[in-house]
Structure 1
Amino acid sequence: MIGCLFIHGFTGSPLEVEPLMEYIKERTDWVTACPVLPGHEEGGSLRGISYTEWLDAASKALDELQCQCDTIYVVGFSMGGMIASTLAAHQSIDKLVLLSPAVFYYSPKQLSIEIGELWREMLRGQLKDNALYLRYHAKIKHTPLSAAMQFRRLVRQYRPRLQDISVPVFIAHGLQDGIVPYKSTQYVYDTVASKEKTAVWLDECHHLICHCENNQWLFGKVYEFLHT
């Protein structure tokens, strides 16, 4: 049995990776999981939350999948990409997918601006997705500085561990990402020890890469990587 763990990003939720998760579920019988990281619950607060709590929650979800499955894939988005990388460096998994990996710091102010722009785009064309952007934008506006500092500590602590990753890895980044610079993907590609590694950049995609216009092409590439 195959298990696939998805890890969302800072201030986000499983909605960030839900389109990819649904794409995988429609085409496989894999066991999927996407835990809500501490402080990211609906109506929750990031105040007083440590980055180690995010790591522990992801590690616990991985342990639970490993109890059910003998093959494990991990998909991480943004900060979730750093958490996924940490798991890959220290625990037994089979393949790793990193989407818009937050290897370098980003600005909460810039994140708020970009999400606002994305929300306006969605209002013009895809009303069914408004809930994601409304929730995301509201969460960012109320993010305490202490939580942003915890994110920075996570990146600073675990970025050097990328060199310990040896499993096959697929990395994707939007060239219009105003939150995490797309050089992050090149850095990961150059740093991991994996012999099998692929990096792709999508011309028209912003930070929320699973919700970009070209997401079906991206999902096909991720599926191909995981399924072969």
Structure 2
Amino acid sequence: MTTGVLIVHGFTGGPFEVAPFKRFLQNHTDWKVVVPVLPGHEMDRGIQKGSAKSWMMVAELELRRLQKEVDNVIVVGFSMGGLIAMYLALRYPIKKLVLLSAAAKYISPRILLEDARIMMSSLRHRDFPPDSFYHLYNYKLTNTPVRVALEFLRVVRVVRPYHHQVKTPVCIVQGKQDGIVPAVTADLLYEQLGSKEKHLIYSEHGKHHICYSEDRHVWFPKVLKFMGKD
């Protein structure tokens, strides 16, 4: 049985947000891992285009493509990508669902920028690319029209009424120091999701960019075990 993993990045972000976890999966499995770039989220550009509909459509098309190539698909969603991951779980047969810092409520652009700045100053590790997340977010956020920001809220509204209809086995990972998505959001999601198999992992010092948390070496293996790899 072959396995594929679709990872959906967050609002104003890109594949770099989940790069450490993607690399971990590639180093420890033979799974096919894909991280599509949502419309308007290309590197070094402000989000001048894109909509809730286009973001969900691209993720859906990538899922359908992956399902044709493998036997089972696991969907991982970071931040806004967590909402899109839940949307996909409502519409397609998915083996497992992983929600990282799922933005089930809202995102504050100002706090997102500050969190990115802190992350860049405190997590300068040799195994990470030298790209300046802070300057990238600064450019993206200062070039993001209000219209597009409202599209993020549209994603929230589309998914929120159907949390209880998500039945896919799910693992939620949340940083307790997340200044963008309050930690209580993970508790609410855990209670609201209709899945029989549910796991909630807290990162004591993790911020919003959970894949770069100092304790990722602890929770990465736990999530991998949930995903089906001992």
TM-score band by shorter chain is over 0.9
Name the CA distance, whole Å, in 2 between partners of 1:55 and 1:202.
Answer: 28
Contact 2:97 2:168 in 1 (8 A): yes
Q: What is the rounded CA distance, in whole Å, between the counterparts of 2:13 and 2:139 in structure 1?
A: 10
Cα deviation code 1:156-182 (max 9, x no counterpart): 121112111111100010000001111
For residues 206 and 57 of structure 2, the distance between their equivalents in structure 1, rounded to whole angstroms, comes to 31
What is the rounded CA distance, in whole Å, between the counterparts of 1:137 and 1:118 in structure 2?
13
- Alignment match, 2:71: 70
CA-CA distance at 1:95 after TM superposition: 0.4
Which residue is equivalent to 2:183? Answer: 182
Higher helix share: 1
Calculate percent identity across the aligned residue pairs: 38
Whether the aligned pair in 1 keeps the contact of 2:173 and 2:201 (CA below 8 Å) is yes
Q: Which residue of 2 aligns with 1:15?
A: 16
Structure 1 residue 109: Cα displacement: 1.4
Residue 51 of structure 1 is matched in structure 2 by 52
Structure 1 residue 78, shift from structure 2 partner: 0.2
TM-score (normalised: structure 1): 0.94
- The aligned residue for residue 111 of structure 2 is 110
Q: CA RMSD in A?
A: 1.4
Unaligned runs of 5+ in 2: none
SS of match in other structure, 1:29: coil
Q: Which structure 2 residues correspond to residues 1-228 of structure 1 after superposition, within 5 A?
A: 1-122=2-123, 125-126=124-125, 128-133=128-133, 134-227=135-228
Q: C-alpha separation between the residues in 2 aligned to 1:45 and 1:138?
A: 6
Tell whether the 8 Å contact from 1:177 to 1:206 is kept in structure 2 after alignment: yes
Question: Would the aligned equivalents of 1:3 and 1:31 in 2 still touch at CA under 8 Å?
Answer: yes
Alpha-carbon spacing, 1:153–1:121, altered in 2? closer, same or farther (3 Å): same
Once residues 216 and 137 of structure 1 are traced to their aligned partners in structure 2, the CA distance between those partners, rounded to angstroms, is 28
Partner deviation per Cα, 1:129-175 (whole Å, 9 max, x = no partner)? 44151323332232221111100111012111211111110001000
> Number of residues paired by the alignment?
226
Contact 2:45/2:139 (8 A) holds in 1 = no
